[in-house]
Structure 1
Amino acid sequence: MLNLLSFLFGIVSLVIVIPATIPLLGWANWLALPLIAIGVVLGQLSSSNSGRNFNLIVLLIAAVRLTLGGGVI
């Protein structure tokens, strides 16, 4: 059950992160980061690692985009 919740948080976060790759929408990554963190914690608490790994991939995408844009842009 926790793994399913972790996937749901990851999918919602991915829906926010994908449009945030467009220039001048990088601020949306800051909205997605708390959701990603909750998804990682839920994935860690579950017996399966797939939800956690999915959230970590989404976190990597958001973090790379934030560093390329200087944290805001």
Structure 2
Amino acid sequence: MLNILSGLIGLVTLILMIPAVIPLLGALNWLLVPIALFGAVIGMISSKNGGRNFCLIVAAFGALRLFIGGGLI
């Protein structure tokens, strides 16, 4: 059950990251990366790894976007 919850958190975060790819909206990732990491923590409690791994990939994508944009753009 926690794996499904973690996957849903990751999916919602990924959907919310789509507008954050647009220039000048990249600062939205400062809110979304911690949410994805929270989903990964929930996935760590689960016995399966799928949700955790998905949330970590989403968080890495958001962190990469922040790195490329210099943290603001």
Same-fold call, TM cutoff 0.5: yes
Gaps of 5+ in 1: none
Deviation, 1:34, is: 2.2
Corresponding residue of 2:5: 5
Q: Deviations over 1:13-51 (max 9, x none)?
A: 101112101111101111212211110001111000000
Corresponding residue of 1:41: 41
Q: For 2:58 and 2:49, locate their aligned partners in 1 and report how far apart those are by CA, in whole Å.
A: 14
Corresponding residue of 2:64: 64
Contact 1:10 / 1:58 at 8 angstroms: preserved in 2?
A: yes
Gaps of 5+ in 2: none
Moved segments of 4+, more than 4 Å: none
TM-score with structure 2 length normalisation? Answer: 0.94
Contact 1:10 / 1:39 at 8 angstroms: preserved in 2?
A: yes
- Cα RMSD (Å): 0.8
Contact 1:16 / 1:29 at 8 angstroms: preserved in 2?
A: no
TM-score with structure 1 length normalisation? Answer: 0.94
Aligned: 1:20 with 2:24 = no
